[in-house]
Structure 1
């Protein structure tokens, strides 16, 4: 049975629940890093707010006893903010695990926010204090950005909401945020850098999405099936992939349709996808700990360890040997993450 609340009642419940408890500060040296505990009648967990330079970082880690429904009424209130959200596990609103969203300013509209009960909800949100921070990055590069981002600059009150898949580079940055080893000033600099990295990766994803649909080709259902088959061939031969011409022959397509269709269906090139999957497999093998770097390189088709290290570093920002040092076991958090409900 679902728990149903209005937005005001839901926020009031959180406020009352934390009024009678002493605020928790994970970092004793930082009063802007606060944990609010989930109301006991709703579930367990917490929401953690960290105020950074020009932005707020929200880490939600909670589990509700039952499904949750929050009804948001229509309001003539202009929300002048930009938000980037990354769902790691569970579902919240219309974002499920391994998805992310970009939301620009706009008027609050009527909606129903749903969250699943009896499953861990782990998500990271970045709230910019003002769109000016984003504008400062892209205002001089309007020709390079997507129409959605242009609207954010040119029509400040035009809202925008875009959902995408969380890629491996984003996942690594999220893991580093959740396992930040620092406190005080170093923590702030580190988290700001990781938030900016996530923003950059999401903006790049938005621009790639625009590029991928700029010149769509007509694909029949059979063409799409063959493109998916080509992907399966690649996945089965990561260590020794066929050439583009051979892949097209095996999939029953000409090479031109395979190149254009693959990008249209999967949002990346054939060999861009191959590289992503090789690096992701390498990452998983390193995490398993049964192979050394040389063996992992060979397993994903690299005969030269230096070339593998360079490719891994380009993908994840660190060398293979340094990667495991950045991935610590998940911290045992006292009742999960933090704060007040925001749109998103």
Structure 2
């Protein structure tokens, strides 16, 4: 299947899909759903208009045939997350691929993007579509307003991958599985959009703060971010501090001092927090018990996991789960 969509505004992408497929509407057109016809596949594409200039598109479908989409975007800033499936993206002669459990962001103005989705794969996808000025509005009275404006301009015309960290995945999951209805759902969705925007801004703002620190060179900043990525990739079996320093070509003192300055916590604290966040995610959304979650994030003794959990969240895992049901 091949589609050509002219998206003249933030809401134009889904409106373009509706030219090809039947749309069901609820809540006075704010929430819409396309159910795929059997010849095309099975599943649905849903759109929730938060307000003018902000929308969320959630896809859960399996295609019967390959799907080529040629989308001319007038002006959009998008953050997306892929839970399953893979999408090939062609933009300005460059190809990138979004695989399951990853995401990216891009800012496009008067440009065409080509998306290729394969048949026989289950696609579970979240797309947050905003006008750039809507992002700036979140920081209208903040001290970092100019930095955010500069960051948005730096993103124009490029696709940037997002680190697959647990907090991003969790926020995206909560959006896709929101149980709220009506105005409360829109409020919940926008609160999660703000959370995700802050998460993707974290690296940029960290770099801005770190370059002002006299003892961290630009090359060392890059190595410290590499160290952070290695920690994320090896969460269940982390490197020792000495191994991590060697892998990033930093000495141990620079690694320890720089990591603390750049990210506001020690290497050990960062590993611990990531493990606990992932353990909580596994218990809440994957229905693992405490022992299974502890083992999955690298704790050989569930008691050690529970003790660390208590220190971070102020209660034992079982109590937290009973007090905060999903």
The aligned runs of 1:148-297 (5 Å cut-off) are 148-151=151-154, 158-208=156-206, 215-217=218-220, 235-236=236-237, 244=241, 254-256=251-253, 258-259=255-256, 270-271=267-268, 272-284=270-282, 287-289=287-289, 291=291
Task: Return the TM-score normalized by structure 2.
Answer: 0.68
Shift of 1:32: 1.4
Where relative contact order (Cα < 8 A, 6+ residues apart) is larger, the structure is: 1
Question: Do residues 95 (structure 1) and 95 (structure 2) align?
Answer: no
The aligned runs of 1:20-99 (5 Å cut-off) are 23-25=23-25, 29-54=27-52, 55-71=54-70, 79-92=74-87, 93=89, 94-99=97-102
Structure 1 segments unaligned to the other structure (5+ residues): 153-157, 327-344
1:193-229, CA deviations, whole angstroms, 9 ceiling, x for partnerless residues?
2222222222224444777897124999xxx99x969
Shift of 1:50: 0.8
RMSD of aligned residue pairs (Cα, Å): 4.6
The aligned runs of 1:113-152 (5 Å cut-off) are 113-128=115-130, 130-138=131-139, 140-142=143-145, 144-145=147-148, 147-151=150-154
Cα–Cα, structure 1 residues 256 and 32, in superposed 2: closer, same or farther, change >3 Å? same
More strand by share: 2
Inter-partner Cα distance in structure 1 for 2:31 and 2:221? 51
Which structure has the larger Rg? Answer: 1
Cα–Cα, structure 1 residues 118 and 137, in superposed 2: closer, same or farther, change >3 Å? same
Inter-partner Cα distance in structure 1 for 2:83 and 2:77? 20
SS in structure 2 at match of 1:66: coil
Cα–Cα, structure 1 residues 312 and 107, in superposed 2: closer, same or farther, change >3 Å? farther
The aligned runs of 1:3-18 (5 Å cut-off) are 3-7=1-5, 15-18=19-22
Shift of 1:294: 11
1:8-45, CA deviations, whole angstroms, 9 ceiling, x for partnerless residues?
7x987753431xxxx434xx545311111224332111
| 2:93 equivalent in structure 1 | none
Cα–Cα, structure 1 residues 197 and 144, in superposed 2: closer, same or farther, change >3 Å? same
Inter-partner Cα distance in structure 1 for 2:307 and 2:258? 30
Inter-partner Cα distance in structure 2 for 1:33 and 1:91? 26
> Is the 1:82–1:105 Cα contact (8 Å) retained in structure 2?
yes
Task: Return the TM-score normalized by structure 1.
Answer: 0.65
| 1:331 equivalent in structure 2 | none
Q: Give the total of aligned pairs.
A: 289
Inter-partner Cα distance in structure 1 for 2:243 and 2:258? 16
Shift of 1:174: 2.0
